[in-house]
Structure 1
Amino acid sequence: MSVIVWITEGTWPACVDAALTRVSGHEEVVLLYVRDEAVAEVAHGAFTGLLGRGHPWGHGPAEGWGRDPGTRVEHLAAASAGELLQAAADRLGRPCTLMERAGRVEREVVTAAQGANLLVCARDGDPTRPGPHSLGPATRFVVDHAPCPVLLIWPTEPPSTTPTRRSPGRGR
């Protein structure tokens, strides 16, 4: 069985650190990064919509990848994902598996977590508010649908949970 660490651009150091403190030496660690295919699809669509279809421009490396910015976005995203996964592996400092997936982020994370012992992920919403607003939509979906236990961490210092005093005359 394995521990999946969901790596994202803004929160990966905290997730890796949490895994380091909570994972035993014999457990397999999988660093997971999911590329959102919708970004490249938007660039493809914009190019097609603005300039029409059926142009003879090339779409392979020999042709310089054509003029479609969606293709360039796909290649840049793949390169960035590889660099991010390698940085996370270096920070982890122990043997691990690097897993890169592409698709709807929340669904790919849930699918990758099938059979895992634990999924480590970070809050990615409003960092000043505890509760549901501290989760972005994809993370909320993952927390609600994960097929394994989830370790949900704050990527920075958590906000204060000291109750605030209500003003007189306000409803309860």
Structure 2
Amino acid sequence: MTVVVWTVEGTWPACVDAARAHAPEGADIVLLHVSGQDVPDAAHGAFAGLLGRGHPRPHGPAHGWGRDPGTRMEEQATVSGRELLAAAADRLGRPCVRRELTGRVEREVVAAAEGADLLVLARDGDRSHLGPHSLGPAARFVVDHAPCPVLLVWPEPAPDLGTIPPPPPHA
């Protein structure tokens, strides 16, 4: 059995705890972290767009000229992802594989779950109420497109049943 655990900043402990509780002994567990490209790509574009716009060009590395901030953001995301995966592996306390991917987050997660027997992920939206808004866009995409069974967990205790939205007026 292969279990993929999607680790995200802020909700990863609940996913790791769920995998520890629900994955049988001997299961192959893959801890997955995906760094998105949106912010680094925007920084690359902004940096490229500022070149040659009539601004004085300070010279030398001390002034930062020629250093693309998007590259630095990518490097920081890689380090952050590795640290998160290391903490997740420590919390899991059993053998696992760590996978760090970069790209469009929701699509990378769905692709990584191909061939898995279970995908574990956490709610990432409004967690103060039960209902569909407890899933953000990325988690909603993953739940809707996952090629395997999904275990969807609350990162903290679930809200009480009184938070269920009322039925529509025509029901």
CA contact (8 A) 1:65 1:72 kept: no
The aligned residue for residue 153 of structure 1 is 153
Instruction: Indicate whether 1:138 and 2:141 are aligned.
Output: no
Q: Per the alignment, do residues 162 and 92 of structure 1 end up closer, same or farther by CA in structure 2, a change over 3 Å counting?
A: same
CA deviation map 1:22-69 (0-9, x unaligned): 01111100000000011110110111112249x9x99xxxxx994210
**For residue 51 of structure 1, what is the amino acid of its counterpart?**
L
Q: Which moved more, 1:137-146 or 1:153-162?
A: 153-162
User: TM-score w.r.t. structure 2 length?
Assistant: 0.87
Structure 2 CA distance for aligned equivalents of residues 162 and 35 of structure 1: 36
Give how far 1:163 is off. Answer: 6.7
The aligned residue for residue 77 of structure 2 is 77
Instruction: Indicate whether 1:9 and 2:9 are aligned.
Output: yes
Structure 1 CA distance for aligned equivalents of residues 65 and 50 of structure 2: 18
The aligned residue for residue 120 of structure 1 is 120
Instruction: Indicate whether 1:19 and 2:13 are aligned.
Output: no
The aligned residue for residue 61 of structure 1 is none
The aligned residue for residue 111 of structure 1 is 111
- For residue 121 of structure 1, give the secondary structure of its aligned residue in structure 2: strand
Structure 1 CA distance for aligned equivalents of residues 77 and 105 of structure 2: 14
CA contact (8 A) 2:129 2:163 kept: no
CA deviation map 1:109-150 (0-9, x unaligned): 000000000000000000112111000000000000000000
Give how far 1:160 is off. Answer: 1.0
Structure 2 CA distance for aligned equivalents of residues 37 and 163 of structure 1: 35
Structure 2 CA distance for aligned equivalents of residues 66 and 72 of structure 1: 12
**For residue 112 of structure 1, what is the amino acid of its counterpart?**
A
User: TM-score w.r.t. structure 1 length?
Assistant: 0.86
Structure 2 CA distance for aligned equivalents of residues 129 and 47 of structure 1: 41
**Identical aligned residues as a percent:** 63
> What pairs with 1:41-120 in structure 2 (closer than 5 Å)?
41-52=41-52, 66-120=66-120
Structure 1 CA distance for aligned equivalents of residues 49 and 37 of structure 2: 18
Moved over 6 A (4+): none
**For residue 154 of structure 1, what is the amino acid of its counterpart?**
W
**For residue 72 of structure 1, what is the amino acid of its counterpart?**
R
Unaligned runs of 5+ in 1: 59-63
Q: Per the alignment, do residues 46 and 100 of structure 1 end up closer, same or farther by CA in structure 2, a change over 3 Å counting?
A: same
Unaligned runs of 5+ in 2: none
CA contact (8 A) 2:130 2:163 kept: no
